Every structure is written in C-alpha cells, then in structure tokens.
Structure 1
Amino acid sequence: MKSRGSNHKLSSMANRSRIPSLFISMFATFATIYVAGRLWQDAENRVYLIKQLDRITGQGQSAISVDDTLKIIACREQHKKLDALEMELAAAKQEGFVSKGLIETNGTYSKRRPLVVIGILTKFGRQKNRNAIRKAWMGSGAALKKVEDEKGIIVRFVIGRSPNRGDSQDKDIDRESRLTNDFLILDDHVEGNQGHPEKAKLFFAHAAEEWNAEFYAKVNDDVYVNIDALGATLATHLDKPRLYMGCMKSGEVFSEKNHKWYEPEWWKFGDKKSYFRHASGETYVISRALAKFISINRSILRTYAYDDVSAGSWFIGLDVKHVDEPKFCCSSWSTGAICAGV
C-alpha cells in the first residue's frame, strides 16, 4: 500500500513537471521563429548596406557612419513608398480617376496654381456695368477661359442673394449666370443688409476655398483693370507669403451722422480722426495665406462701415507685408496703371 502511494505521488510530480517544460518549449519555439523572422526581414537591408560599404571603401573613403546608415535605410523606405504611389497613380489613370486640376506634360502630371482670382463686387440692377466690364477688359466665353488658361487669371462677378429669396432679382442673376458662367454667387450673403464689408470678407473666404491661387483681388464694378499690368506686377511679389498690396492711405474718420462717410464706430480709431493704414477700396490684393486666414476666421473678423477699412483691420497684429503700389491708385492715371475708375 505504501509503495503504491509513493508511485502515485511520483506520477503526479512528473505530470506537473512536464507542464512547465511544455510552456518553456513553446516559448523557445516562438522566440526562435520571431528572431528568425526579424533576421530574414533585415537581411535585405544588411546586404544593401554591405554593397554600399564596399562601394564607399573601394573609392578610398572611410566606412559609412551610423547617420549615413540611417539615411540609406530612410531613402530606401521613401523609394518603396514612391514606387507604390506611382503604381496607384498608373492604376487610377487607367480607371480615369485623375484630378481635373492636373495638367499632363511629357507624360507626367503637375498642378498649375492660378496667379490671381479677381472678385468684382457687383449689385442687383447693374447689368450694364457688368456688360461694359466684359467688353472692356474681362472678356467672356472663350476669351475669359483663355485668360484663365494662359495667364492664370480668374475673374468673377461677386453677388449675394435677395432679401426675398427666390424673387425676380435672384432669378435674373441666375439667368445671367447661366448665360455667362462668370459669377461667384454668395448664397450666405444678403444684398443690401450687410453691405460691401461682409461681401468682401465672404468673397475672400469662398475664393480661397474654391481656388488655390497665389493672390486674390477685390475690385469694384466701376473700375477697369489692366490685366497684363496686374499680372506683371503680382509676378514680382511671389516671394512674399503674406502680402497686402494696394493704394495705401489712412483717411479721415467722420463722426457726424449726416456725413456721407460716417463711421459709427469712429471712437475706436486712435485719435478719433484718422484710420489706420489700409488699401483703397477700389481694388486691392492679398496673398493666399491671408485669404485662408480670412476663410478660417470669417465668423470672428470684425467689419466696419467700409470694406477697405475692414480688410485693413483684419491684418493688424499679423506679420503682413504692406505694399503701397501707386499703380493701384485708380484715379491717378499713372504710366503702367493697373486700374482706372469710371
């Protein structure tokens, strides 16, 4: 009986000892597989590094450093990603899924950014002004499209909606827009109530979202623009990422309610007699970064009585390059003038 009990105990102990041994064996197996996998994964990089070492030392140079090794590995990873992207692009081209903003050149694709988007702020009942602008400098139909394609200059009339949404005024604008295809209609702006300051702000915001241009220009619908002079001038300022350019002025602040240029918040401006420096409202230009700033912050940017003063206020406190360009003084008729008031 004693012998039989002893055998039972020995058998139990043997079973318990086999369980840890089994776990140890499994762990060792998995560890071996993991290490072998890592070695297999790194083998290609090691072979490549050995070849690079042989090439460098064969040229009489010292062995590559750790930094050089890391750079080589990173470069190989980038090549792999580039190869994958090229394969995806080739597949997309076969399926017809190529962005409309891409232009094919010698078998490759590149995106051409427009130079400037010009927004002509207009109103209801001013179709004669718009037609005159189309004939004088803006163009229409194929001529307008040619200016966009060849010069990178996009021109649109900017208008909001009627207070009585869907009335004859809205219908007239929609009809004209279908015929000319040269409007940017601000559905979130009501004509007459908020005036030019709010419309100018919404133009810059919507234009920045619609077109990724270098510059954005605001123009009144009683101003004629020299497209070539504007394009040539802007081309010389492509190195300025935060540009605010126009016919700069300060101007007097009028606190009398019966005055034509009355400013309701006259008391906010310095000595209460002069505005801060800002561009004349007939036409002025801002760069892409500033247009995107307006787009992002449109809900909190304050507007004053006039759009030019409002625009100038948005850039106070920002690192902005103010450029006083006499060619933007539309009443000067100077040589090489960009605009002329009528």
Structure 2
Amino acid sequence: MGLKIGSKHSKGGGLSVRWVCLFCISSFCLGVLVVNRLWNIADPVQLDNEAPSIEKRQRRELEASIQAGDILNQVSQTHDVIMMLDKTISSLEMRLSMARSAKGGYQEGSPMDIKPVSKHMLERQKVFYVMGIMTAFSSRKRRDSIRETWMPEGEELTKLEKERGIVIRFVIGHSATTGGVLDRAIDAEEKQHRDFLRLNHVEGYHELSSKTQIYFSTAVAMWDADFYVKVDDDVHVNPGMLGSTLARHRSKPRIYIGCMKSGPVLADKSVKYHEPEYWKFGEEGNKYFRHATGQLYAVSKDLATYISVNRHILHRFANEDVSLGSWFIGLDVEHIDDRTLCCGTPLDCEWKSQAGNPCGASFDWSCSGICKSVERMEEVHQRCGEGDGAVWLANF
C-alpha cells in the first residue's frame, strides 16, 4: 500500500504537508550557508597565481621610488649646472665689455692699462672680497692713520690677500694735469707702500659717482671676488668682522649690503648734498628710494659685473650712494640692512666690542665719517678694534 501524505486519518502516522515544507526550506538555507563558506576559503592555486602579481607590484613601487630619487638627483645637478652657466655668462659679458672698451680706445671711465686687460681677465686672482678705500690727493694723513691702525702694511697686506683672500687698496684717479705734482706725490707714496689702486679717472668732489662706477669696473677686471666693498677714508673698519658678515650671504646672488636709508631729496642749492635733479623724484619734499649710506657698502660679484658691463649707460646723480642705489632699481636685488656696518664711535662701538660683538665699521653720522679722523682713528681702533689677530681667525 502507498504512503498517504497529508491524511489526518492515516494509520501509518504520515507527515503533514506543513512539516514537509518546513523541512525543505530548512534544507535549502543550510545548503546556501555551506556553499558560501566554501567560496570564502581561498583557493591555494589562486594564491599561488597572485603571489607573482604582488611581487611585481612591489617591484614596480621600488623602481618608481628609485626613479624619483634619480629625478631629484638630476634636478639638483641641473641646478648646479645652471648656477655654473650663470657665472660663465657673467664672465663672458664682462670680457665683452672689456673688449668693447679696448676697441673704443683709452677713454675716461675705462680701466687703466686697457691693452693687457683682456689677457689679465683670464688670469684674475680668486679672492673673497676687495675693499676699495676712496681717498683724495689731500688725504695723506688720513691714509697714514688707517695704515697705523686697522689696515695691514707690507708683507702682512700681501699675506692677507694670499691666506685670507682679502684685498685692501686706497682708490684714487689722477689730476687734471696728468703727471703733475699731485700725481708724482701719489706715485712716490705707492712706491713706498704698494697699496693703491689707480683709476683712469680725473679726481674731483663732484665726480664721486663716476669714480665709484669706475672703481667697481676696474676691481672686477683685476680680481675675481665674491664681494666688492667701497669705504671712505675716514671710517674705522674691522676687516675680520666685515668678512664674517659678508660670508653669511656668500651663497646668495645679487647682494647689496650696507646701512640702508631713505633721506630727503634736497632741492635747495645752498645745502651740501643738493640734488640738481630733484624733480625726477616727484614733488618737492619727497624722499630717495632705499639705498645704502655711502660710508661703507658691499655688492656681490654679479652686481659689480653688471656695473662694469653697463657703466656707459648708468646714470650718475650728484650723490654717489644715491647713484649706486639707482643702478639697482628694477633689478632682482636683495637689499640687506646690516647696522653692524654703521656703528657709532665710542661709546657705541666700544660697548658692542666688550659684549663680544665688534662692529664691522664705525663712524659718526654727524660728520659722515669719524669726526677729526686723523686725530681720533687711533682712539677708535684701541677701543672698538677687533684685535690684531682677529682677521686671521675669523670664520669665512
């Protein structure tokens, strides 16, 4: 006899339809659960296939990292090449300027001894900085006061150039009557001390802007320096401290360093620093643009080269410090205002020296230099000097 499902009165006790359905549904759910668990177990063959893929990805990441390092190294090398090219271009421009000067002949504003300049350009001595002390025919006593205090003489001066790369010279041109008594006096002084830089320039108080321009052009032609310094002959200088100050900016291009100021443009003809071209600076009562005070300032090689290359077209104002500042207007030049280059005379510089911070230069603002410098230079040196051995121990 066949089994009768769903009959309430079945003698064999058959299952009801409800229980059969429930059993089927439970079996289905259990089957789905088992299959999903099996799918979640990683296939060993698949893992073996994915392993090389992971290694390839890691290898690609490593290669990319190495390649990035190579690119950074190439960028660094490219930067070094660009810097070298900049220096080469500056040197070529300078030689071209000298060649033009030589072609134009012996003219006012050209370095002395034009003919051998082009050969000398290839053999220029590499130094740290060149300091030109602006002086006049009537300033013999001022020069002697400097020689007796902060400026080395004779073999010491030569040693300073060779061992420390510091060149110091008194800068002067010639008189209106070349070969006259004034020039012969300078020739005799030069023979005695060997510390002059002679310019192809006619001396005169109203020609200081021109003299400054020719000084930079001549110094660039003679020495390959990192910096070129201009200083007046009534200022006290600590060469070692000045060198340490300049060394902090050695890696920077186009540096113009000094004590920056922005004084009034003087239209009154009766005053000492009268500016004939005052109208170029706007309304009466305006101030000059920012520029370094003329007692002492320094420019980097690129700027000195720029002056040399363009000297024939650079405009000269009445005041040489204003002229220099105007030559850099519109250029990408970093102006550095360093007040250690314009300390006052004792007690100002003395206090700073005692505190272990000797000044690079000292003078009196009221006199635009040390007041009565011939008489007082020794006093200032004793009280504000860095010490005779400091320049040999300075870190630069």
Alpha-carbon distance in 2 for matches of 1:225, 1:165: 32
Q: Counterparts in 2 of 1:74-89, with a 5 A limit?
A: none
Question: Is 1:338 matched with 2:360?
Answer: yes
Of the structure 1 ranges 268-277 and 311-320, higher mean CA displacement relative to structure 2 is found in 268-277
**What is the identity, as a one-letter code, of the residue corresponding to 1:182?**
D
Deviations 1:85-129 (A, max 9, x none): xxxxxxxxxxxxxx9999xxxxxxxx9731100000000021111
Deviation, 1:322, is: 0.5
The residue number in structure 2 matching 1:30 is: none
The alignment-based identity, stated in percent, is 47
**What is the identity, as a one-letter code, of the residue corresponding to 2:302?**
A
Under a length normalisation based on structure 1, what TM-score does the superposition of the two structures give? 0.66
The residue number in structure 1 matching 2:166 is: 153
Q: Is the 8 A contact 2:125 2:222 kept in 1?
A: no
Q: Counterparts in 2 of 1:218-233, with a 5 A limit?
A: 218-233=230-245
Structure 1 residue runs of 5 or longer lacking an equivalent are 1-60, 62-98, 103-110
Alpha-carbon distance in 1 for matches of 2:220, 2:205: 24
Which of the residues 184, 190, 194 maps onto 1:171?
A: 184
Q: Is the 8 A contact 2:125 2:224 kept in 1?
A: no
Deviations 1:128-177 (A, max 9, x none): 11111111111110111121122111000000110111110000001111
Aligned residues: 236
Alpha-carbon distance in 2 for matches of 1:315, 1:174: 35
Q: Is the 8 A contact 2:136 2:203 kept in 1?
A: yes
**What is the identity, as a one-letter code, of the residue corresponding to 1:338?**
G
**What is the identity, as a one-letter code, of the residue corresponding to 1:314?**
W
Deviation, 1:271, is: 4.1
Alpha-carbon distance in 2 for matches of 1:269, 1:328: 27
Under a length normalisation based on structure 2, what TM-score does the superposition of the two structures give? 0.57
**What is the identity, as a one-letter code, of the residue corresponding to 1:129?**
R
Structure 2 residue runs of 5 or longer lacking an equivalent are 1-62, 64-119, 364-369, 371-396
Question: Is 1:243 matched with 2:255?
Answer: yes
Which of the residues 170, 191, 197 maps onto 1:184?
A: 197
Q: Moved runs in structure 1, 4+ residues, more than 4 A?
A: 99-102
Change (3 A) 1:100 1:268: closer
Alpha-carbon distance in 2 for matches of 1:132, 1:123: 14
Deviation, 1:340, is: 1.2
Which of the residues 279, 299, 303 maps onto 1:290?
A: 303
Secondary structure (helix, strand or coil) at the match of 2:295 reads strand
Change (3 A) 1:193 1:128: closer
Which of the residues 306, 315, 330 maps onto 1:317?
A: 330
Question: Is 1:326 matched with 2:310?
Answer: no
**What is the identity, as a one-letter code, of the residue corresponding to 1:162?**
S
Deviation, 1:337, is: 1.1
The residue number in structure 2 matching 1:138 is: 151
Alpha-carbon distance in 1 for matches of 2:167, 2:211: 18
Alpha-carbon distance in 2 for matches of 1:265, 1:323: 27
Alpha-carbon distance in 1 for matches of 2:341, 2:280: 27
Alpha-carbon distance in 1 for matches of 2:197, 2:125: 21
The residue number in structure 2 matching 1:121 is: 134
Deviations 1:270-309 (A, max 9, x none): 4442000000000000000000000111111111111110
Alpha-carbon distance in 2 for matches of 1:206, 1:266: 30
The residue number in structure 1 matching 2:264 is: 252
Alpha-carbon distance in 2 for matches of 1:198, 1:254: 20
Alpha-carbon distance in 2 for matches of 1:210, 1:298: 16
Alpha-carbon distance in 1 for matches of 2:207, 2:358: 31
Q: Is the 8 A contact 1:208 1:295 kept in 2?
A: yes
Q: Is the 8 A contact 1:101 1:112 kept in 2?
A: no
Of the structure 1 ranges 198-207 and 322-331, higher mean CA displacement relative to structure 2 is found in 322-331
The residue number in structure 2 matching 1:263 is: 275
